Every structure is written in structure tokens, then in C-alpha cells.
């Protein structure tokens, strides 16, 4: 896992959880690219969601983590980018399934709705769960084709 390049970003509402998750990632031997924000001043979540999502979409990193108050705004932003499969997860099960069946490459969390311990477990499950492939690969290929038809694919 330490060879995985990962980006992380948050708005002001996700800053505290972002900083906590960075310590978890460090314990796992990961050094995430931090795209901000760096203080508690009010900012616009799309600015930070764009940076992390672009890094994943262009292949600069393999995975990303985004955090805002509820995770809803970051999810909307991230899923605008070609090749991004952002999953808003509230528990270990959704984190596991987002990787196993959907090969999610961005984990989205809500800084105001998750306790740190649960967020830590979600991150660990999301990082440790491989993509299952098989029938799920066929479904992801359909999503890629849909992106291309809609003009959002590379």
C-alpha cells in the first residue's frame, strides 16, 4: 500500500478530520499530497474538490480523499471529472463495497457527521479493499462508455 500515491483535500468544515486522517495515512506509510485547505477560514469546497479530483482524473495520483461538512458537496464536485468514481461513505460496509464493486478512487467523508474513530476505520477498510473485477468490471466499462457519450470521458 505504501506505493500508492494519494491526494487529500478539504474545506474548512473538513479540516480537523483531514488533519487527523493524514496522521493515519502516515502511520500506514503513506505521504499524501495535501491540496488544502490549511486553516479554518471559510472557503468554497469546489476549489479543493477540483484539485484532488483533477489529480486522480489525470493519473497524478491513484486515489484521493475529500472531506467537507457532510461530504455531499465534495461528492458532487468529484464525480464531474472523467475517470473519477467518488464514493461518500458513512460506515465500513459502504467503504468496502465502494472498492469491491465500484473500484472507487476517491473516498468522500463528512467532517461534521463522522466521529474520528469511525472515519479511521472507514479509511483503513477503503485502502485495504481490492477491486473484485469480474461482472463489476463490465459495469465500470459501461460507466466509461457513458462518460464518453456525454463528452466527459478522456
Indicate if 12 belongs to the active site: no
From the number of C-beta atoms within 10 Å of its C-beta (0-12, 13-18, 19+), residue 120 rates as middle
68, 89, 90, 136: which is the annotated catalytic residue? 68
What does the DSSP assignment read for 56-110? HHTTS-SEEEEEESSSHHHHHHHTTSTT--EEE-SSHHHHHHHHHTT---EEEEE
From the number of C-beta atoms within 10 Å of its C-beta (0-12, 13-18, 19+), residue 75 rates as buried
41, 89, 101, 136: which is the annotated catalytic residue? 101
**CA–CA dist 73, 46 (Å, integer):** 8
Indicate if 68 belongs to the active site: yes
- Catalytic residue set: 68, 101
Amino acid at each position: 500500500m505504501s506505493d500508492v500515491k494519494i491526494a487529500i483535500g478539504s474545506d474548512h468544515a473538513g479540516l480537523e478530520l483531514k488533519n487527523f486522517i493524514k496522521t493515519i495515512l502516515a502511520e500506514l506509510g503513506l505521504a499524501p499530497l495535501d491540496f488544502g485547505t490549511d486553516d479554518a477560514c471559510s472557503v468554497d469546497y469546489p476549489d479543493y474538490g477540483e484539485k484532488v479530483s483533477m489529480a486522480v482524473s489525470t493519473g497524478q495520483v491513484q486515489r484521493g480523499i475529500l472531506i467537507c461538512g457532510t461530504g455531499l458537496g465534495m461528492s458532487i464536485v468529484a464525480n464531474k471529472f472523467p475517470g473519477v468514481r467518488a464514493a461518500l461513505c458513512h460506515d465500513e460496509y459502504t467503504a468496502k463495497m465502494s472498492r469491491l464493486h465500484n473500484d472507487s478512487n476517491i473516498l468522500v467523508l463528512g467532517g461534521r457527521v463522522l466521529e474520528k474513530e469511525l472515519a479511521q476505520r472507514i479509511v483503513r477498510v477503503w485502502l485495504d479493499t481490492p477491486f473484485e473485477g469480474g461482472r463489476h468490471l463490465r459495469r465500470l466499462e459501461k460507466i466509461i462508455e457513458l462518460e464518453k457519450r456525454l463528452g466527459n470521458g478522456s
